Amino acid sequence: LFTTILVIVFSMSYIVSAQTDSDIDIGPVSSNDQWTPQILSADDGTEIVLVPPGCFMMGIEDSQSDESPPHEVCFGNPFVIDRFEVTNMQYGSSGFFEGPNLPRDSVSWQDAAAFCASRSYNGEPMRLPTEAEWEYAARGPSNLIYPWGNIPSLQNSANSENSNNQTVPVGTFPSGASWVGAEDLSGNVWEWTSSIYLPYPYDSEDGRENAEDAEALRVLRGGAATNFIDLTYSTNRFARAADTGYPLTGFRCAANAEPPPLIIDFEDLPWEIEIQNISGFDMVTVPGGCFFMGSDDGDADERPVTEICVDAFYMDRYEVSNSQYGSAGRFTGDNQPRETVSWFDAQSFCESRGGRLPTEAEWEWAARGLENNIYPWGNDFVRELFIWQGNSGGQTANVGTLPDGASWAGVENMAGNVSEWTSSIYLPYPYDSEDGRENLEDNSRRTVRGGAYNTALPPRAADRDGRFEPIDERDSIGFRCVIDY
């Protein structure tokens, strides 16, 4: 696969701290250089590294057939993974190679999984990483070929050219650390993952993460000290029987890392707008909080006014455009919002990005915020801040037009241009996410929010429109997506 061997000098800065993941602001990243390695501790004191949420292209073309097709895999929540492979000393016994700081090899998948389960992080059992987690921790959203970059380097891992065909103490090659600070992901020992060896694309729901299947082959990653450097790249897959311990086969453990709740109160106002690119879409962070949903001064379907608390989420800064959607509706400009789209197709598009349509509570919270603004920009009606019948010229405007009309969270065009699908069935208030209105399998009418280019009514953020069936396609209705925080 790779024929040129180069030597690279590599340095990496770390943040080593006794803090836990709940003390760190963990948002999605879209490139490796957006992240500084964070070294934490498992409950037994073992060093672990934090892996932030994000997306990457799993697999690679022009390599072995089981690494294709390349496909995007996204992680909505962070996780942690051991900084080093589990050692003989940690395990309590040696494998084929003896030495306290050598990786424990000759361990079966079953025994490795049991050992991880005996450890804990934040009081919860640890586990083997999935092969998707392993590859993401090695490559990151920048999709590197090796943990350290795209060029093989003899001084970055234990391989057949420098190891005398035996394992070396973990951490011997710190210059080979990955973007999150995990070391020895290339070479030394192959590492068990939790995953059953099945063809791509990877899907955690297709049975490959069934821990009870004792007969299936399990995936190994990373290569070993007896392999040439060009076989220790991060997409390489290998498989062995789960009940046998093989020389030069070891493991490291992982665990879920719940993100800290992001909740604001009045003391946090004004909110500092956070915009980030997630898989090619500008999204804003909408913190969690409580507000009064509905309006006593509005239509009957906006009553009774009820206090609603919403968890944090990421929301598209703009309505989804024609170019992003891949086709146009009635209005064909690349940057005009995609309209003439059914609720079903809008929901499906959001799901393809690892997201969903916002609930109408989330939509109204993103528009109004803690101060329960009447309009996204405030409480004064300003017709110059939104696209409506009086200034649209009979068509939609490019998304991002009239940025001064953005909401407190930085979401633009929530008033006018196109109305927007929400996930919610149109039911009377009070809003309750548990009363069936968020049933995605129900074909009832769905709630639309925000007003459009062809309407004349003031686009109050509490206004609801429940006239449309989920199959309807109107040139006045578009959408935007959210992703859970």
Q: Which two tokens stand for residue 292?
A: 């009064």
CB 156 within 8 A of CB 145: no
Both 89 and 238 in one domain: the answer is yes
pTM: 0.59
- The pLDDT assigned to 20 comes to 60
Is 253 in the same domain as 294? no
Same domain? 234 vs 339? no
Task: Mark whether 280 and 245 lie in a shared domain.
Answer: no
**Measured between alpha carbons, how far is 194 from 81 in angstroms, rounded to an integer?**
13
* Distance from C-alpha of 436 to C-alpha of 17, rounded to nearest angstrom: 44
Task: Assess whether 108 and 229 both reside in one domain.
Answer: yes
Of 260, 295, 317, which closes a domain?
260
Report residue 272: phi and psi, to 5°: -85, 110
Give the span between the Cα atoms of 166 and 185, in whole angstroms.
16
Whether residue 14 lies inside any domain: the answer is no
Q: Are residues 47 and 157 in the same domain?
A: yes
Complete DSSP assignment for 150-210: SS--GGGSB-TTTSTTS---TTS-GGG--TT-----SBSSEEEEEEE--PSSP-TTTTTT-
Q: Is residue 101 part of a domain?
A: yes
Q: Are 30 and 52 in contact (CB under 8 A)?
A: no
How many domains are contained in the chain?
Answer: 2
Contact 461, 414 (CB under 8 A): yes
* 193 and 215 assigned to the same domain: yes
Please check whether residue 289 is in contact with residue 361, taking contact to mean a CB–CB distance below 8 angstroms. no
Quick one: tokens of 324? 């992003």
Q: Residue 6 CA to chain centroid, in angstroms? A: 34
Preceding amide of 53 cis, omega within 30: no
The CATH number of the domain holding residue 177 is: 3.90.1580.10
Tokens of 312: 């944090």
Q: Which amino acid is at 176?
A: G
Q: What is the pLDDT along the chain (485 residues), one digit of tens a residue?
A: 333 222 222 334 445 444 566 556 577 898 999 999 999 999 999 999 999 999 999 999 989 999 999 999 999 889 999 999 999 999 999 999 999 999 999 999 999 999 999 999 999 999 999 999 999 999 999 999 999 999 999 999 999 999 999 999 999 999 999 999 999 999 999 999 999 999 999 999 999 999 999 889 999 999 999 999 999 999 999 999 999 999 999 999 999 997 667 888 888 889 999 998 888 999 999 999 999 999 999 999 999 999 999 999 999 999 999 999 999 999 999 999 999 999 999 999 999 999 999 999 999 999 999 999 999 999 999 999 999 999 999 999 999 999 999 999 999 999 999 999 999 999 999 999 999 999 999 999 999 999 999 999 889 999 999 999 999 999 999 999 999 98
Can you give the residue range of the structural domain that contains 215? 32-260
Residues 173 and 290 in one domain: no
Q: What pLDDT was estimated at residue 259?
A: 63
Kind of pairing, strands 120-121 and 124-125?
antiparallel
Q: Is residue 439 part of a domain?
A: yes
Residue 419 and residue 279 in one domain: yes
Would 5 be classed as within a structural domain? no
Is residue 265 included in any domain, yes or no?
Answer: no
Q: Which residue has the tokens 């686009």?
A: 459
Last residue of a domain, one of 260, 287, 322: 260
Establish if 188 belongs to a structural domain: yes
Residue 24 to residue 15: CA distance in whole angstroms: 11
Within a domain: 287:
yes
Among 260, 291, 317, where does a domain finish? 260
CB 51 within 8 A of CB 78: yes
Same domain (yes/no): 224, 290: no
Q: What stretch of H or E contains 55?
A: strand 54-58
235 and 185 co-located in one domain: yes
- Does residue 352 lie within any of the structural domains? yes
Kindly state whether residues 217 and 293 are assigned to the same domain. Answer: no
